Amino acid sequence: MTIEAINEQLLRAIGVGVALLDRQTLQFGFRNDTFEEWFSAETQPAQLQQLFPDLDVSAMQENLTGSGRYASEIRFKKKRRTLVIALDFTAADEDVLVLVCQNITRIKELESMIDSYSMMVERNTREIKREKEQVEKLLLNIMPRSVYEEFKTFGVVTPQMYDPVSVLMLDFVGFTDMVASQDPSVTVTELNDIYSAFDRIGEQFGCERIKTIGDAYITVAGLPDPTPDHAKAIANTAIRFVRYLTRRNLSHPHQWHCRIGLSTGSVVGSVVGIQKYVYDIFGPAVNLASRLQEFSEPMQITVQDDVATVLKDQFDLENVGARTIRGFSKQDVWRLSDSN
């Protein structure tokens, strides 16, 4: 076999469609087997435009004159499958045009599949992100952000001592009777409104609400970030809680009266529990605030001696004398009033 004959054999059998055309008339001169296989039609058109009616011939000629090359793509259906063939024209010399065709159907199908897959994955990613944000929001409701960050990074929270902080303990007068005598769902809805308002007020003064247990509400100033003004912050918050309830009672049929106790000291904050974890604080200041609250008449704020010392210059305080406090030494307690 001659070299020419081998070349021709190769050209015929190769998996790429090859055709030679007359540069001027665009008549086919040679078509290899692959080309015939792809573009076999009963009529066997002898001319390029007849075979590919959608081909932009003027653009092709322009490119061939300029760079000697032109690339295009055609799609057609074979049975019910869409074939995509890349056409590559090269001007070999003055008279001959070489057309090389590659079957890029699979590539196009893969591209479509990647599109489809990435759309699914992206949608799922968005959903997961949304869910994650909701979980985060829930966790931020039960613990301060800095604690949450630690929890997220290490999976545990190291108990931390906060010293000094001020604790506010609030309790509603006659809540149990209220639940019993009125529609409990209404009572709870109102409680939710009130707690939400308390949260907003506390936030204004940099207080961190720790928890609510039924009708008891505990918030702290000076945690997790130390604040020199923690006593003032807690006093301002307490005064506004009372003010809010007073105003609310004017326009609502259900009357809400609270007792408040304020204390200062150190607390330990940590996440407790493994499955059902909750962020909580522990320490004498928490207990003291709870005891002081019991000394309050409805809508009154009882303040620990140490807190009163700090607040005296700026707040309206009245000494109500020494009291014996369960678990603590006998000490002076004070009444904080709204000076406005």
Binding site for other proteins (CB under 8 A): 79-82, 84, 106, 108-110, 112-113, 115-117, 120-121, 123-124
CB nearer to other proteins: pick between 123 and 312: 123
CB nearer to other proteins: pick between 108 and 323: 108
CB nearer to other proteins: pick between 113 and 278: 113
Among 108, 90, 107, 112, residue whose Cα is nearest residue 99: 90
Among 20, 325, 288, 60, residue whose Cα is nearest residue 168: 288
Percent helix, strand, coil in the chain (nearest 5)?
Answer: 45, 30, 25
Q: How far is the CB of 102 from other proteins (least distance, A)?
A: 17
CB nearer to other proteins: pick between 77 and 326: 77
Q: How far is the CB of 82 from other proteins (least distance, A)?
A: 4
DSSP 94: S
CB nearer to other proteins: pick between 71 and 107: 107
d(CA 170, CA 24): 97
Q: How far is the CB of 122 from other proteins (least distance, A)?
A: 10
Beta 300-304 vs 258-272: how paired, if at all? parallel
* Residue length of the chain: 340
Q: How far is the CB of 119 from other proteins (least distance, A)?
A: 8
Q: How far is the CB of 273 from other proteins (least distance, A)?
A: 21
Q: How far is the CB of 275 from other proteins (least distance, A)?
A: 16
CB nearer to other proteins: pick between 106 and 330: 106
d(CA 323, CA 227): 29
Q: How far is the CB of 34 from other proteins (least distance, A)?
A: 19
Q: What tokens does 84 get?
A: 């995509």
d(CA 317, CA 182): 36
Decide: 20 and 30 in contact? Cβ < 8 Å.
Answer: yes
| Helices 230-251 and 184-204: angle between axes, nearest 10 degrees | 140
d(CA 220, CA 263): 10
